[in-house]
Amino acid sequence: MQTILIQLDTDLQPSVFDRVVAVDSGVGHLFSYSAVTPDTVTGLVHGAIFTRGPADLKNTAIFIGGGSAADGETLLKKVQKTFFGPMRVSVMMDSNGCNTTAAAAIASARRHMTLESVPAVVLGATGPVGLRAAELLAIEKSHVTLVSRTLERAESACAAIRSRLPEAQLTAAAADQPEKYEELCRGNSVVVAAGAAGACFLKEGALQRISGLRMAIDLNAVPPVGIADISVMDKAVDKSGVLCFGAIGVGGLKMKVHRRAVASLFESNDHILDTQAVYSLALEVAGILR
């Protein structure tokens, strides 16, 4: 039986990026729907679950994408609510690449160091990627500082993670100047910059000035990058004793994880590939045993 991936995109046009990756993941047929909302999704899900018998439903799967991770999360909840009994298909949510990017970033870090009890800081931690990177660091039992330009937003991000991981060791912090970002990085072993495109947090020379830092990951590919000392192509490049990764350096693993995740949807009809499930796949793809 041929595999069918149903792309439910919350944007006005279905993402070309996600469509290309779907094809490269080997899906037999790709059905793409745009501007999908919780109010319009029920019929699409019924079309997915009522067309093949329960034993064959593993050949149909849903991919939720679009520019807004919040809309993607809401849509995922509605899709899951529409399933009942064996009438379900596997689903992956990766709006704007949030889950695959965060998973690839933290799996890249795990390839080179143990993260348990390690102090780590996430700059731009309130965005879809930063929030997930902070959550994955917390899953690895790092002690994570979440940095936003406003303390209130950093605290909300911590609360969102704690609602899923009550034991997480999290601290909220605010900064809006390079000196303050640098100060907050001091004493940390890992820094992840996940700010909006063009937001530069750490100026040139900062990596050398932050004593004790062992790893720096910058996910921003749009100049100016988030950590000036890092180039987008860096992949485990040692700079003054700090192992550096740039956005494209992480991007190779991210693409592999995305393709592997889509392919894995067709292994059964009940996979839900959310942040944590995508991270487990990323560790597998990176060859890391848990």
Please report, as ranges, the residues that interact with ligand NAP according to CB under 6 A: 96-97, 101, 124, 126-130, 148-150, 153, 194-197, 199, 219-221, 247, 250-251, 254
Rounded to the nearest whole angstrom, what is the least distance from the CB of residue 252 to ligand NAP in the complex? 9
DSSP 8-state class, residue 237 = E
The whole-angstrom separation of Cα 61 and Cα 112 is: 34
Q: Which is nearer to ligand NAP, 204 or 267 (CB)?
A: 204
Rounded to the nearest whole angstrom, what is the least distance from the CB of residue 78 to ligand NAP in the complex? 22
Q: Where are the beta strands (DSSP E) in the chain?
A: 4-9, 29-33, 60-65, 90-93, 119-123, 143-148, 169-174, 190-193, 215-218, 235-239, 242-245, 272-273
Pairing of strands 190-193, 29-33: unpaired
Rounded to the nearest whole angstrom, what is the least distance from the CB of residue 254 to ligand NAP in the complex? 5
Rounded to the nearest whole angstrom, what is the least distance from the CB of residue 106 to ligand NAP in the complex? 13
Q: Which is nearer to ligand NAP, 4 or 172 (CB)?
A: 172
Rounded to the nearest whole angstrom, what is the least distance from the CB of residue 250 to ligand NAP in the complex? 5
Both tokens of residue 126?
């309130």
Rounded to the nearest whole angstrom, what is the least distance from the CB of residue 195 to ligand NAP in the complex? 4
Q: Which is nearer to ligand NAP, 199 or 228 (CB)?
A: 199
Q: Which is nearer to ligand NAP, 109 or 250 (CB)?
A: 250
**Closest residue to ligand NAP, based on beta-carbon distance:** 127
Asked whether 30 and 86 are in contact (CB, 8 A), the reply is no
Sign of the four-CA dihedral 121, 122, 125, 131: negative
Q: Which is nearer to ligand NAP, 148 or 189 (CB)?
A: 148
- Concatenated DSSP letters for 156-215? HHHHHHHHH-TT-EEEEEE--SHHHHHHHHTT-SEEEE-PPTT---B-TTHHHHSTT--E
Q: Which is nearer to ligand NAP, 71 or 89 (CB)?
A: 71
